Amino acid sequence: MTTSAEDRSGSQGSYVEPGEFKRDTNYITTRITADGRDGYPAEAGRYRLVAARACPWANRTLIVRRLLGLEDALSLGLCGPTHDKLSWTFDLDPGGVDPVLGIPRLRDAYLARFPDYPRGITVPAVVEIATGQVVTNDYPQITLDFSTEWTEFHRDGAPDLYPAHLRDEIDEVAHRNFTEVNNGVYRCGFAGDQDAYERAYARLFTRLDELTERLAGQRYLVGDTITEADVRLFTTLARFDPVYHGHFKCNRTKLSEMPVLWAYARDLFQTPGFGDTTDFGQIKTHYYAVHRDINPTGVVPVGPDLANWLAPHGREQLGGRPFGDGTPPPPPRAGEEVPALG
């Protein structure tokens, strides 16, 4: 079995291998749908979303769950920012056990369904509470299904993050951002030789320059409202200066030195659902403490100063309606808050 790039950046520690860093995208593709065609119908209270605030892929599910108002239908279990070689763990909970699933490790839910599960234990994952079995860890599909298959449980005023008439463009933009940016920072950070690193570095900043041009004249990536494409880009941008610039050697320029992207990221951060699901402390702890082959000492840097995320961004001048015909989500539920900046 080859260890996946997702695993190297998350559940199984990190490994620098010769050549270009390649991501294993073989996930558990079972879907939770309105009609239950895979055997798992969308039902309130049946499932638990297991995430970690440190992980950019899991962070997406936290944002979308908040924006759509799925808190009553889908409970949340949070793993801590660090883990061992076996699994993400529930070390934030009393006794290190998830209070709903009754397990200390996310691995237990994977093995409950697949006793010989051969791949990394990744977040996010959706677990069926009654059986204790993982249903899916297919993170790109999870958020799309939140938007399209869980509509019965959306809050009043939930935005349409995946509007039908824009889906082709959203998919195209999101795919390009995945290959060049979301995954691109990992190709830089885990490159096994100089040539692979320099190729990844060039591709990353080429795409960031393209995004600068795209966003210079429009507030959001696709259309005039927040969509799935913005959610997916934001979680990488939020980690850029605290982690990727130094830790992953993505150091041509900081995000805060790219005026258009920096204003765009602050605009989203200051939008309910984005900044209030982003925990910079856990983000830094995860990357610097877990990736010991890149950061052998495990020392977590004190900087950068993150209060500037709250500075005015001026993007309102471009127009746009963040939630379209919908409304902002209410404040985070008690126990789901993140530390405030400043």
CATH number for the domain including 91? 3.40.30.10
In a domain, 265, yes or no: yes
pLDDT value at residue 19:
74
Whether residue 147 is found in the same domain as residue 172: no
Q: What are phi and psi of 47, to 5 degrees?
A: -125, 160
188 and 307: one domain?
yes
Range of the domain at 24: 5-153
**Same domain, yes or no, for 218 and 286?**
yes
Cβ neighbours around 182 below 10 Å, total: 21
Residues 6+ apart with CB under 8 A from 59: 51, 53, 235, 238, 277, 278
DSSP states along 65-93: HHHHT-TTTSEEEE--S-B-SS-BB-TTS
Distance CA 241, CA 239 (A): 6
Residues 140 and 176 in one domain: no
Residue 191, in any domain of the structure: yes
Domain assignment of residue 332, yes or no: no
Instruction: Verify that 146 and 250 share a domain, yes or no.
Output: no
In this structure, the answer to whether residues 106 and 199 fall within a common structural domain is: no
Rounded to whole angstroms, what are the CA distances from 89 to 58, 95, 109, 124, 164? 14, 11, 11, 13, 37
Same domain, 109 and 232: no
Whether 338 is covered by a domain: the verdict is no
For residue 17, the model assigns a pLDDT of: 59
Nearest to 268 by CA among 233, 218, 308: 233
Residues 54 and 111 in one domain: yes
User: Residues of the chain whose pLDDT is less than 70?
Assistant: 1-18, 22-24, 342
Same domain, 170 and 312: yes
Residue 335 lies inside a defined structural domain of this protein: no
Report if residue 331 sits inside a domain: no
> 309 near 274, Cβ under 8 Å?
no
**Predicted pLDDT of residue 85:** 87
Residues annotated as catalytic are 55, 186
**DSSP assignment string, 256-318:** GGSHHHHHHHHHHHTSTTTGGG--HHHHHHHHHHH-TTTSTT-PPP-----GGGGS---GGGG
User: Taking the alpha carbons of 150, 156, 157, 163 in that order, is the dihedral positive or negative?
Assistant: positive
Measured distance CA(219)–CA(215) in Å, rounded: 6
Q: Is 324 within the bounds of a domain?
A: no
Q: How many domains does the chain have?
A: 2
C-alpha–C-alpha distance, residues 228 and 147, integer Å: 9
Last residue of a domain, one of 101, 124, 153: 153
pLDDT of residue 2: 26
Number of CB atoms found within 10 A of residue 5's CB: 21
Looking at the structure, tell me whether residues 146 and 11 fall in a common domain.
yes
Are 229 and 195 within one domain? Answer: yes
Is residue 90 within 8 A of residue 83, CB to CB? The reply is: no
- Domain identity same for 60 and 188: no
Q: What is the pLDDT of residue 21?
A: 73
Which CATH number belongs to the domain containing residue 171 in this structure?
A: 1.20.1050.10
Q: State the average pLDDT for the chain.
A: 94
